[in-house]
Amino acid sequence: MIFSLNRRFSANILRIFLLLSLLAVSSCGGKIGYGVLAWSVPDHDLHAGDVVPVFVQSNIGKVYVIGSKDSKDRLEVPLWQIQLYKSRSAARKAAQRDAEYRYTYALVKIDGLPIRSAPENTARQVYRLRAGQQIKLVRKGEGAPVMSGNSALPGDWYEVMTDDGSLGWCYSYNLTIIDEREYTGEQIVQTDSGPDPVLENLLSRAWYPDSWRTMIESSRIDLDKISPQWGFFPGRDSLVARIEDETGVRTFPYSSVVRGDDGDYRFEGSTLSVQVRRRNSILVQFTDENGMPQAHYFAALDSSPESLVSEERARRDSVLESIRSLSRAFSSGNYGVLQFPETGRFLWSGYQLLSPQIIPAGSGAGGSVENRVFIPASWSGDFDGVLSFKFDGSDSWIHFLYQLSSEGLKLEHVLSVKDALVQSRNLTPTVLFFSPANEVY
């Protein structure tokens, strides 16, 4: 107990001694060097890059005592806010080196924006910013572009400083860059008075992947890439926005939606923001769980996903029915008998010459047939389309260009298929010809 009291007494004596020392140094006007401000002190008309005298460094209080421009006032600033040099000339030289971004700050657009240890999106995170936070731009750097899908997001890498002195690199895509001499201090997001018809349209609709609109315009509907559950759903009533696709579901609880100065809509309380490109097209952006920026395009459609799926299935069935209307069975001297007993099903016997090069061994005698793949428009004079066969004993689809005539069914095997579109014909194609059979085998 006595030992504990002695330690407290000694600590108090030390604090008093340090305080008296600071007062003595301040009163005699001695300097320990000159500092370059890293962050502006507007209340004292001091700006980043100003060179000021430094009188005291307190590692206990973690502050410097500096002078104002006219050296009459003394004020304390955090240690991180000063770069200390022994001479005025060295400080001025350092200030000149960083003068380009002296007045340049930025406001953060989204919650969770990462600051990284290096100018690349895979570098270690050193800080996570919050929406509306102000940071200082130190310098521009060269780094790896930030990608969204196959496209690079616009912007540059900057070395930045936060308002607590943390340093690192941040990509400017989600920053609003400002000059402090021109910035009025208004909030980065503001709520307009009166109804906003663009926001009303945004919140009142379901939005689906923009690639669906491309499929509709090209009349090539890939049913493997359409589901009524996929899309962007703003959650106007629930205040929970949702993005759902083949990879899963992401939810974004939010408190309100406000319009930013650059015209985008921010879902407050989340990292989600939306840019309305046209009345029926939007860009949705957010930061994922790994701190990576994501961007996805969505569109409002004139038809519902359910009707798109229904119409495409009806189109495919009509193609198969046109073949069955000529004959339900076709025969070939080399490639056996091909039957279509019902829409969407086939039976194939005697195909040994095609196995295993085209039809895998053990595939069985039948399976599913669909008109699920498309041909380039320029091929329409040579082929009617593509028939795809999936044997019950196999997991893969086998694709054939087909041409139907009164003489029978011509098939040509193809391998090069991407995104439900035949890319090219084989250099040495296998061509099959089947004549209509008089009976079903």
pLDDT of residue 58: 87
Q: Model confidence over 275-324: pLDDT tens digits?
A: 987 668 899 999 988 888 999 999 998 888 999 999 999 999 999 999 99
Pick the CATH number of 25-96 from 2.60.40, 2.40.128, 1.20.1740, 2.30.30: 2.30.30
The residue with greater pLDDT, 350 or 261, is 350
pLDDT at 272 over 80: yes
* The domain over range 104-186 is classified in CATH as 1.20.1740.10: no
pLDDT of residue 244: 95
Mean pLDDT value of segment 120-143: 90
Within 13 Å of residue 366, how many CA atoms lie on the same side as its CB?
A: 11
Q: Model confidence over 186-233: pLDDT tens digits?
A: 443 333 345 677 888 899 889 999 999 889 988 899 999 999 999 999
Counting Cβ atoms within 10 Å, is residue 338 exposed (0-12), middle (13-18) or buried (19+)? buried
pTM of the entire predicted model: 0.55
Q: Model confidence over 72-94: pLDDT tens digits?
A: 678 888 999 999 999 999 999 98
pLDDT at 235 over 70: yes
Q: Name the DSSP letter for residue 153.
A: P
- List Cα–Cα distances, 199 to 110, 111, 243, 250, in angstroms: 19, 21, 18, 21
The confidence band for 4, taking pLDDT boundaries of 50, 70 and 90, is very low
Beta bridge partners of 348: 338
The confidence band for 2, taking pLDDT boundaries of 50, 70 and 90, is very low
pLDDT of residue 7: 43
pLDDT of residue 212: 93
Q: Pick from 95, 94, 98, 139: which is nearest to 119 by CA? A: 139
Angle subtended at Cα 422 by Cα 419 and Cα 423, rounded to the nearest 5 degrees: 90
Q: Model confidence over 313-330: pLDDT tens digits?
A: 999 999 999 999 999 999
Residue type present at position 237: D
Q: Give the list of residues 6+ apart from residue 274 with CB closer than 8 angstroms, or none.
A: 202, 264, 265, 267, 282, 283, 284, 285
Q: Pick from 245, 48, 197, 29: which is nearest to 135 by CA? A: 48
Q: Model confidence over 156-192: pLDDT tens digits?
A: 999 999 988 999 999 998 888 988 887 755 443 333 3
Whether the CB-CB separation of 274 and 196 falls below 8 Å is answered with no
pLDDT at 27 over 90: no
Give residue limits of the domains in the chain. 25-96, 104-186, 197-302, 306-436
Q: Pick from 71, 3, 69, 11: which is nearest to 42 by CA? A: 69
pLDDT at 1 over 70: no
For 51-110, the DSSP string reads EEEEEEEETTTTEEEEE-TTS--EEEEEGGGEEEESSHHHHHHHHHHTGGGTTEEEEE-S
CA distance from start to end of the chain: 105
Q: Model confidence over 367-382: pLDDT tens digits?
A: 999 999 999 989 988 9
